[in-house]
Structure 1
Amino acid sequence: MKAKFLFVIILIISASCQLNDLEPVIITDGTYTGFFGRSSPNAKYQASDVTLIFKGNTYQGQSSIQKYPAICRGTFTMKGNKIEFTNECPWTAEFDWTYILTGEFDIYKEGEEIIIQRSYGEETYDTYRMTKQ
């Protein structure tokens, strides 16, 4: 529980970092594990354990909380400090589809961690913080 609380604090701090201060990332094949969380000054969100497996330009994964985030499988492309996921799985309509791992994200490296982050404006972010196993 302490780790998840610390993760939320790190999310807030990382959201306020200047993007140019972070090291660009090259995704290599392998398994990456860590946390996902949505952060916002207007709401409290919990953190979820996530696993992503990258091979070539494909990914698959899972989260410890069903559909938070919604990770299945698909392809990805990288350009500079951006990564774009293309989800290949069908989803049902009973949840917030912004949690599906699809679309464009910023991607950076801090030490051994990779940070994959998307902004929704108004200081709301989805952030994946993971390390390669």
Structure 2
Amino acid sequence: MTGCEKNVEEKVFFSGKYSGTFERTTGAGSKVSSNVSITFNDANYSGTSDRMKFPAICNGTYSTKNNEIHFTNSCMWTADFDWSLILNNDYTYKSSGDSLEIKREYAGQMTDLYKLKKEQN
């Protein structure tokens, strides 16, 4: 008798409020940052930034698979800014203790990095 080992993917749901920084780095090496907070509740998220639309965080849902996180933005946005700043679509993430890093790279041209820490109650 032989057995099969199934590779079961575990879905990760973050819980609570995380605060930290958002940083966009361009291919030329320039960096611009802001202070952000994101609250995760089951498969939902909401957040804010101290700079208007940098990044553009509103609310929506998210799902995880392996080390990837997919955000689905639920808010309407005006066309007067760079929509790549909306927290939406696919990112990679690393979670360790109360720290969470969420990252997206744009074909070597730009990198968005959220460095967050879970707030203690």
1:65-94 alpha-carbon deviations (Å, 9 max, x no partner): 000000000000000100000000000000
* 1:93–1:34 distance in 2 versus 1, CA, 3 Å: same
Counterpart of 1:122 (choices 98, 102, 108) is 108
Counterpart of 1:32 (choices 18, 37, 42) is 18
Residue type at the aligned position of 1:46:
V
Residue type at the aligned position of 1:107:
Y
1:94 aligns with 2:80: yes
Give the deviation of 1:110 after TM superposition: 4.8
Root-mean-square deviation (CA), in Å? Answer: 1.7
DSSP 3-state at the match of 1:36:
strand
Give the deviation of 1:26 after TM superposition: 3.9
User: Over alpha carbons, which structure has the higher Rg?
Assistant: 2
User: Segments of 4+ in structure 1 off by > 6 A?
Assistant: none
Taking every aligned residue pair, what percent have the same amino acid on both sides? 37
Counterpart of 1:76 (choices 47, 55, 62) is 62
* Distance in 2, Cα, partners of 1:109 & 1:123: 25
Q: TM-score, normalised by structure 2?
A: 0.83
Unaligned runs of 5+ in 1: 1-24
Asked if the contact 2:62/2:70 (under 8 Å) is kept, the reply is yes
Residue type at the aligned position of 2:79:
A
Residue type at the aligned position of 1:57:
A
User: In proportion to residue count, which structure has more helix?
Assistant: 1
How many residues align? The count is: 109
* Distance in 1, Cα, partners of 2:67 & 2:117: 17
User: In proportion to residue count, which structure has more strand?
Assistant: 2
Give the deviation of 1:112 after TM superposition: 3.7
* Distance in 2, Cα, partners of 1:89 & 1:68: 15
